[in-house]
Amino acid sequence: MLMLVLFTSTSHGQSASRKKIIIDTDLFSDVDDAGALLLASTIDSAELLAVNVNYPSSYSAFAASSILGHYQHSHVPIGLTRPINDDTFWDRMMFEYGEFASKVAYHWRNASSLSFAEEAWDPVDLYRKILAEQDDDSVTIASIGFLENLSALLNSTADCYSQLSGLELVTAKVSELVIMGGDYPSGYEWNFYGFGPAITAHVVHTWPSAMTFLGSQVGENVLSGRRLVEEGPDADPVRSAYIWYNGRDKARYSWDPLTTLYAVQGLGELFKYGNSGGHNHIYPNGSNVWLPESKGNSQHWLELAVPPTAAGKVLDELFLDGARRFA
């Protein structure tokens, strides 16, 4: 098992085939989004093109900008859903998890490329600009939150960036959309029902290119982050985010880091497809079910190809490797 961890943690140095990635994140109420940004910023085989934030807190945008800046990715543009607010997270359900976005935004503000939240891009404009600049069939989008930005992209029309509609632009430029959401073969999961089930259905039922889904149970079975807290550099923003959110003595579920890792590296040795055909269907309440009929675009859901503890070790090694390189 150690050989698996070492292979995965060092193979990202092969930068000849860098994967063009856009992250769409709800960085706000769970620290695994911060872990995902660490991976997207520090795995050498990833070329991070943009980060769109789909929760409209100014602190979410500032935290994302500070994390990217710390890992020397201040050139990566950030979009933020409107209307912007100054909400901070309060755990009214478990009374266990702590707020971290505003703290990261404040303590690493010198690393941020944003002085004001309003400087963040409109997400649809950012999508359209970035996609129009890329080669055809070259971009992977990792959705690790709500799907409002993606729905708005599909609904967009010709503008100064491209004469293509949103649907046409996605068809031309996006090779795969990787979504953390739902459960498989069926389930009822927050990212799909929490913001707007109709928006989720619009994206999943309309998206023209390949889609791959990582369900809730996969992420819940894989724990990561504790080694970053225990062994990572003191000045690392994601390490501090895990401490503020989750404490010093616990690991965290790994929904978003796993989704991001697949988006960058593909199946590799960690993942396998859980289906050989069919498609994902979203019901009006946001629940989902995998139906046997295949549609025009390729659709898959992911399972682990290794034990959950092994997957967690891989993530922890990648977290530490990335954080130490920028200490």
**Domains of the chain: residue spans and CATH:** 19-326 (3.90.245.10)
Confidence of residue 11 (pLDDT cuts 50, 70, 90): very low
Cα separation values, 12 from 18, 264, 272, 314, Å: 9, 9, 19, 12
User: Could you give the 3-state DSSP secondary structure of residue 158?
Assistant: coil
Confidence of residue 6 (pLDDT cuts 50, 70, 90): very low
Torsion 227-94-25-197 (CA) sign: positive
**Opening angle at CA 299, ends 295 and 304, nearest 5:** 155
CB burial of residue 169 (10 Å; 0-12, 13-18, 19+): buried
Cα separation values, 227 from 25, 252, 311, Å: 23, 11, 14
Taking residues 138-147, report their average pLDDT: 98
What are 90-108's pLDDT values in tens digits? 999 999 999 999 999 999 9
Cα separation values, 51 from 26, 65, 306, Å: 10, 9, 30
Bridge-partner residues for 212, per DSSP?
178, 300
CB burial of residue 262 (10 Å; 0-12, 13-18, 19+): buried
Query: What's the length of the chain?
Result: 327
Confidence of residue 43 (pLDDT cuts 50, 70, 90): very high
Measured between alpha carbons, how far is 53 from 37 in angstroms, rounded to an integer? 12
Confidence of residue 17 (pLDDT cuts 50, 70, 90): confident
Cβ atoms within 10 Å of 198's Cβ, excluding its own: 11
pLDDT at 16: 55
Q: Is there a contact between 289 and 275 (Cβ–Cβ < 8 Å)?
A: no
Q: Is there a contact between 80 and 61 (Cβ–Cβ < 8 Å)?
A: yes
Using the predicted structure, report yes or no on whether residue 49 has a pLDDT greater than 60: yes
Does an H or E element contain 40, and which? helix 32-42
Range 224-236 burial, b when 16+ CB lie within 10 A, else e: bbbbbbeebeeeb
- Tokens 């707007």 sit on residue: 196
Taking residues 300-325, report their average pLDDT: 98
Torsion 182-184-186-187 (CA) sign: negative
| This prediction's pTM | 0.95
Measured between alpha carbons, how far is 102 from 32 in angstroms, rounded to an integer? 16
Bridge-partner residues for 324, per DSSP?
none
Confidence of residue 4 (pLDDT cuts 50, 70, 90): very low
User: Could you give the 3-state DSSP secondary structure of residue 49?
Assistant: strand
